Structure 1
């Protein structure tokens, strides 16, 4: 891998809630890793003049539904990961491969499906996106031994989407997964597809997974009194998605900001689903939340990058020395009233995704999905 120097940086969004911005004018990258922020070097094999614009971590979409490679039968679409990469998403986490044609519903089939997807995507970066797949869907006939076996095969995530009848049994499965260090997730709100049942406050308090997925609805939100009770009575982390109820999303964000608990939130798309393939879904959600609440765009960006990455044990998502150089060069789009990317997001606009870098290599130069930057970077 070649060395890279980003110079004339206008702003750095760190991906951290505790320090959302970094005051530095350059970033040195070596062998795909961030070597120095505020670099003293003046040359590299690749030099990018950022021209006073914004550098942010590549987005981490922690709620996608892959099936095979870049094909999704849910929308009969090929190449969807490449389009998300063009929007700045460099890493993804599967919330279950539930759209697999003929998807099994028994423990034997579900463990096999999770193992297959884990091993498949370990060998594949679709269009260069780092896709962490193989999420075990829990079922009524599953045992704690099944959890152990699938963990030994490399699976690191579990999910409840189909309501398990015996809540004590569900809690035992989730507790065993937690003991093994697996990330446990659960659908929240109304039924998402025929054949499923709503998952409500009672189930969350009984099972207590790590993350309440699409807490603002996937697509139907919990009643306000139920989600508020989960916020107040548990420490479960919460996810906001573009494929959900935006009134509820705003209320949840304001509530968590008032409680000084933004670190319990993450932002994702929950796509591809019936909502569609939404390559700019993360930016759409960011614009809604930043323009209609008091939470700043740099904090919103952290909920789309460093926070979900930490939750899932990923090295990506932060601009920090020693971390992978997965970066987005952002600006206000041409024609925007905003002066820079932060202003654009807080105005409710998509930022212009000018350049996307993965492991220190330029993966996208000028996004096919956003408006062009007012100050496009120059690769020298």
Structure 2
């Protein structure tokens, strides 16, 4: 067995937006799993002196578009997943492998691509990131039996990105996916690439997916009256992304906060896309929203960790005993006006991602993508 101890912790962000922070002086990890908070253990194989800084769950980017390992042809970039790890992202969820060169659009090809990615990323963590891939892109020529077939092969998610002509058929596919325990996602807003069409209020009411992706637009937001009606009249989970409309993002966030419904919301990047490869995209979104709304930085971190984990049935995203030790040690970056990471975010700065652990293993000791910490952790 292996033991790891984080000591001299300043503050912990729990991942729960209803109770976002705790005062915890130490975290004990055994065999990659959080064993105890406020640990009674005084020795371990590895000790990390956090030096009074902030520990948060590893970020979960619940909207990425992988293709093969850590390569994306959309931006011709190799190693993008590892670069996101240096931004504090320890888990990702695929919203469809739609950038695959020559992506098949027929039923057989669509199913094969989903199963291939489910199995290949199940065997491989690009850059050390846990990537939950293999999302079935729903089209008019798929049958309910096709959804059942890929579910038997381990596929856990479906996605509508291309507006379907037969909304009754789309509803039937989504309903069956839900019955099978699959998470169903749908593109929201204007067309994202040539050949696609906008998806708005009517389609959402007819299809009834679980998650409205990039509810602030990907990149174009739906009209204000449409998203406001869907937010008020449905219980769908919603997503804000850095690759969308930031005016709309702030209004959606504030509206959900006023309704005490932040647990419906997840923050993601929706990359790699035409927006690019954005390793610190989730921090960019959080710092903008924390500095322009009344929602705290700690609550926003929960929307990048615990809520996407809950929406997708992942065991990560919370700092509590029994959860994987996917952790980030954060601080205010050198030169920031703030004293700690959460203060930096609320000031509009990126935090310094000082140390990143996945399953209790240190994979990043000083991020290459954020400024250095005022108080860098020390691995003893």
- Into which bin does the TM-score normalised by the smaller protein fall? over 0.9
Cα distance, 1:147 vs structure 2 = 0.4
SS of the aligned residue for 2:148 comes to: helix
Q: Does 1:276 align with 2:276?
A: yes
For 1:315, the equivalent position in structure 2 comes to 315
Which whole-Å deviations, capped at 9, do the CAs of 1:32-84 have from their partners, x for residues lacking one?
00000000111101000000000000000000000000110000000000100
SS of the aligned residue for 1:272 comes to: coil
For residues 141-180 of structure 1, the aligned pairs below 5 Å read: 141-180=141-180
Contact 1:2-1:360 within 8 A present in 2 as well: no
Aligned counterparts of 1:86 and 1:181: Cα–Cα separation in 2: 32
SS of the aligned residue for 1:227 comes to: helix
For residues 39-118 of structure 1, the aligned pairs below 5 Å read: 39-118=39-118
For 2:245, the equivalent position in structure 1 comes to 245
User: What TM-score do you get using the length of structure 2 for normalisation?
Assistant: 0.99
The size of the alignment, in residue pairs, is: 380
Cα distance, 1:311 vs structure 2 = 1.0
Which whole-Å deviations, capped at 9, do the CAs of 1:200-258 have from their partners, x for residues lacking one?
10000000100000000000000000100111121111100000000000010011111
SS of the aligned residue for 1:163 comes to: coil
SS of the aligned residue for 2:193 comes to: coil
Aligned counterparts of 2:361 and 2:264: Cα–Cα separation in 1: 32
Cα RMSD of the aligned pairs, angstroms, is 0.6
> 5+ unaligned residues in a row in structure 2: which ranges?
none
SS of the aligned residue for 1:355 comes to: strand
Aligned counterparts of 2:323 and 2:255: Cα–Cα separation in 1: 32
Q: Does 1:132 align with 2:132?
A: yes
Which whole-Å deviations, capped at 9, do the CAs of 1:309-346 have from their partners, x for residues lacking one?
11111110100001000000000000000000010011
For residues 297-316 of structure 1, the aligned pairs below 5 Å read: 297-316=297-316
For 1:205, the equivalent position in structure 2 comes to 205
For residues 215-364 of structure 1, the aligned pairs below 5 Å read: 215-364=215-364
Aligned counterparts of 1:2 and 1:375: Cα–Cα separation in 2: 26
Aligned counterparts of 2:142 and 2:164: Cα–Cα separation in 1: 10
Cα distance, 1:2 vs structure 2 = 2.5
Cα distance, 1:193 vs structure 2 = 0.2
> 5+ unaligned residues in a row in structure 1: which ranges?
none
Q: Does 1:195 align with 2:195?
A: yes
Q: Following TM superposition, where does structure 1 have runs of at least 4 consecutive aligned residues deviating by more than 6 angstroms? A: none
For 1:35, the equivalent position in structure 2 comes to 35
Aligned counterparts of 1:244 and 1:96: Cα–Cα separation in 2: 18
Contact 2:237-2:311 within 8 A present in 1 as well: no
My pick for the range that moved more, 346-355 or 229-238, is 229-238
For residues 361-372 of structure 1, the aligned pairs below 5 Å read: 361-372=361-372
SS of the aligned residue for 2:286 comes to: helix
